[in-house]
Structure 1
Amino acid sequence: MRGRQRVKAEWVLIVEGDPEAAQELSDNLQRNGYSVRWARTGEQALHMHGEADLVLLTLDLPDVDGLEVCRAVRATGRAPVIAFTEGASELDRVLGLQAGADDCMDKPYGLRELLARMEAVLRRTRTTAEPPAPQSIGLGSLWIDAVAREVWLHGERVEMTRKEFDLLYHLASRPGEVTSRAELMAEVWEVPEAHTLNIRASRTIDTHISALRSKLGNDIWITTVRGVGFRFCADQGLACGSGP
């Protein structure tokens, strides 16, 4: 899309035979920043899961055994799976996990718990898929030592609190990329309900960003992308404006 930049939304495939339940879940996920597609049957799911970041799979499907769908998704795709059971026994949940599900939940479930579990599964997947973060980052006059947890600017050490260092390191390890507030809360503050940001959480991020800008002595190191999050600029803003 043109105009205001935004972070790429992770997209979720809902596999659910009940149209009303699927629509309600889809609406809730979209309100919390996810892109969503729906498969009503197991057969549709097997054709659609290839590009999904996460599959939410109801095991009680109208055409195919949900456990078989789960096995096929894990065998042929990369997306993690959260399986849903209704009035199930412990054995049913065990069978779901043995079929390859990364997590199992009983219906009915709470939205906040679902979002927390989704973020936890996606975070584990990202950690597994991404290369390890560098032990040190050198960007012009700025040097960040992840082992010693030290920051140096123009050859002088800059004192940082633990969270300030974690926040700076997270942003600087992705120079030029936009990082959402939700991701910062999940990765730096380890808040699993990252997709349900409140005013207090947002102010916490703003306070730490302001402190970093003050200590780095240059507001252009970290730019705000309105409505999305923040971008760390290795060139101190020469190509990193805040966007239209």
Structure 2
Amino acid sequence: MAAGGVRALVVDDEADLRRVVAAYLADDGFEVWEAADGTTALELARAHQPQLVVLDLKLPDIDGIEVCRRLRTFTDAYVVMLTARAEEVDTLIGLSVGADDYLTKPFSPRILLARIHTVLRRPRSGTGEPGDHARDVGDLRLDPDAHQVSVAGEPVDLTPTEFDILATLSSRSRQVWSRRQLLEAVWGPGWVGDERIVDVHVAHLRAKLGPDAATRYVVTVRGVGFRMGPG
């Protein structure tokens, strides 16, 4: 996805930082809205349907984790989360509700812009191609064209990243994918960060697929990575 014409929402209660980020995005061709709190961010997101949301974790009313969770009920926008806290748990919780990437403050706006472009290059349908057939793993069905997943006929609501991981794993039956291979396939070859981001999304994906997902659908191959089940 090229930057030109991409709608972006920048959410941060630090006015100077928010304006700097918004200015960098605008100069790069994005159409930008700004919000200083979670309530306003959700209102703007519903009104303008941005394709990218740069979201601070700590906001004065609704925190970024809850904003991200609510965003995921009505949009598949790419979400890049910002955090001033170094504790790993904040990052992991943020990612588990559907953030596509994260960045710790302080950061260079140029670095943020580079990470955003990496995120925007990600397709929203994993490795599926137009006309790709639906894939069945036991009673799990993934339809790449419709961007839908169901288990035993019941639809499963996945975030874009969760869907991309599942689509990638199911694209090559029984292949074991390393974390690095999944990062390159889903996040893109330019992504830089902690490989454990994969484990966070896989854990959240399994929770949505059901209590036996780790043995029936997304199986861990110790010391290597993940593959589609059954185990």
Distance 1:117 1:25 in 2: 13
Which residue of structure 2 lines up, in the alignment, with residue 45 of structure 1? 41
For 1:31 and 1:123, the matched residues in 2 are separated by 19
1:26-82 superposed Cα distances (whole Å, 9 cap, x missing partner): 111111221110011100111111310100000110111221111011122121211
**1:49, 1:79 within 8 Å by CA — same for their partners in 2?**
no
Q: Is the Cα contact below 8 Å between 2:4 and 2:28 reproduced in 1?
A: no
Instruction: Give the 3-state SS of the residue equivalent to 1:128 in structure 2.
Output: coil
After superposition, where does 1:152-231 map in structure 2 within 5 Å?
A: none
Deviation digits for residues 82-137 of structure 1, max 9, x if unmatched? 1110032111111110121111110111223212211121121x452998369xxx
- Deviation track 1:176-223 (CA, whole Å, cap 9, x = no partner) reads xxxxxxxxxxxxxx9969xxxxxxxxxxxxxxxxxxxxxxxxxxxxxx
1:80 aligns with 2:63: no
Residues 74, 80 of structure 1: 8 Å contact kept:
no
Matched, 1:66 2:64: yes
**RMSD between aligned residues:** 2.9
Aligned to 2:25: 29
Amino acid at match of 1:74: R
Which runs of no fewer than 5 residues in structure 2 stay unpaired?
Answer: 132-187, 192-231
Q: Read off the aligned partner of 2:88 and give its amino acid letter.
A: E
Which residue pairs with 1:128 in the alignment?
125
TM-score normalised according to structure 1 size: 0.49
Partners in 1 of 2:61 and 2:51 — Cα distance? Answer: 24
Matching of residue 111 in structure 1 with residue 78 in structure 2: no
Among 16, 20, 26, which residue is 1:20 paired with? 16
Q: Distance in 2 between matches of 1:73 and 1:79?
A: 8
Asked if the contact 1:39–1:45 (Cα under 8 Å) also holds between the matched residues in 2, the reply is: yes
Q: Which runs of 5+ in 1 are unaligned?
A: 1-6, 135-189, 194-244
Name the counterpart of 2:87: 89
Q: Tell me the matched-pair count.
A: 133
Cα 1:116–1:8 change in 2 (3 A) is: closer
Distance, in Å, in 2 between the alignment partners of 1:101 and 1:107 is 16
